[in-house]
Structure 1
Amino acid sequence: MNTPLLQVQDLRVTFTTGRGAVHAVDGVTFDVGAGEVLGLVGESGSGKSVTLRAIPRLLHDNAAVSGRVLWHGQDLLTIPDERLRAIRGGQVAMVFQEPMSALNPVLPIGMQIDEVLVAHTDMDRAARRRRAIELLGLVGIASAATRLDQYPHEFSGGMRQRAMIAISLAAQPALLLADEPTTALDVTIQDQILTLLLQLVSELGMAMVLVTHDLGVVAETCDRVAVMYAGRLCETGPVELVFNRPRHAYTDALLRSMPGDGAAGAMLTPIPGQPPRIDSPVPGCAFAPRCSYAEPRCTTERPVLTAYAPGHDSACYAATRLPARVEEGAA
């Protein structure tokens, strides 16, 4: 892999609430290099979005964040706010999960693109307008010059998502943080958005961290995958290797719960139980109460990430007992 652009080391996020401390992210470590797409997957509440928002420090004041987030040698968690503002939106950009919440409803789309260009470029007004038109065209919005003066409510859901991507790309960032960018979109628009993002990664040489709960999206778009559960990383590695030879019982359970594993019309294999409450930490492996491979030590001893192949790590005591996927045919 290329020298990492971003290195996240032992990231921890704890929220102070009226019910006590909530440990949303618990010791997450990963990196991503130029031109690479890393998928961050897991069930709702696993800590994916909080992890992503912690990188550019976009969490509420009740969040306590520790660890290191290294960007070209600078720790984004400790650098002064002024220096962070120059990086955030410029070198590191984010596509949020819900465009109607992320876009300003009272400002035209063109003005929202212009705000980024004013903050991160030296372009004059005419050049900024040309760039805004270029960006809308880049993300596939027709009649871009006219659309600049329209408001978010005048755009369809897919167009709003494209507009948000245009805003995030305005300053030509080196890293794109995409938080479920196709949520609530129909499958046709979803495919168009994902194809667009991959095309931009290829053409612009960006790195991308893609948060999703859809393993099919990961299989189609990502180079590597990091699986999260209860705020922790369970397994990381190249997509093909992780999907064909999972080394964590949770990854295996996720894959087996997907359609297509058996004969047509066969019952799906759901994961029993519910994810643990993040305000009540579970000793040992957090997945143990739902795991068919659990052994006594799983409930008391927390497994650590261990390498099972080059670049393929897992934190599971049952790693060597998990079967290879049927379609792979080999370990």
Structure 2
Amino acid sequence: MTPIWTVTLLATAIAAAPGARADEATRFALSGELRLAREFQQAATTDARTAAQLQLRADARRALDAQTGLGLHLDAQTALQRRDGDAQTATPGRVNELYAHLDLADWQLAAGRRIVAWDVGQAFRPNDVVQREERRPLLPTTPQGRAVLQAERVDADSATSLVAVEPQGEAAERTLAWRHFHRLGTLDAHLHADWRQDRHAGLGAALAWVASDAVELHASTRWQPHLARHQTLAGWSWTGGPDLTLLAEAWHDGAAARRAAQRNLYLRASLKDGAWEPSLDLLWQPRDGGRSLGAGLRWSGDRWRVEAAWRRLGGPQTAAMRQGPLRQNGAIAATLAF
């Protein structure tokens, strides 16, 4: 039995357990998406594939009393795909999230595989030390969560989280991460700290300020004393009514493998016109002139979403972005939510 059906049956079993009736004390929700996508990558040759992906989400929660509840959350997916010239293959089911949580008034305790994404940046997040999810994917995707133990306390204006992260992969190490968030009117302040099994530590801070109905400013920084390096981002967004949104972000990534890739400038513009939303974006590395130019188009209905995206790498032949085999890629996908 694939993991996607295993976790679905597990959540269903909780909802059907003795005492878990469809009353005010018990909640069970099941939703998902079916996506059909066509993707291509151009390197020395062009590689294209077609994929059908099923993603399911389920939540089960049982209220124990007025302030206490026990729940289970899952997010899992599986897919069939065919690369041009090859036979159709099935992708093993993947569990993105599967965790149990205990709600105790202002506290929540959680254990299992969970997505814990932090920080305020859009294209780059220095303080995303738990999830470390890929930024700027060609099409929206759900990352696979990390194996965590988490304790979080939340009130009206602040939240404090402590997360123990189990290693994944041979090079990973156990990590303990802490974050405190506090809202001061229109200003959101974040403090971060993390400690790894090799006794290396990191400290970080972030701010997000809604300066007006149209302008938002944000900044984030992380310092790793043992490596004497830092990662720092500053960003600005402007919203012209409900239709036009402009985003600009600049950052220094001291952890980048190549010095030429440490400094980055990212620009994005999107326009909402009814159900349609076109967008353009540019990532530029000024030290060597490398650039990534992208364009996207999305149509959103009540249950259907259709989107297309394209990205091309450019700049001098010596640019860091040009050293890999990839030159351009694109995708088109239709998604049905249920």
TM-score, length basis structure 2: 0.27
Q: Which has the higher strand share?
A: 2
Larger radius of gyration: 2
Q: Which has the higher helix share?
A: 1
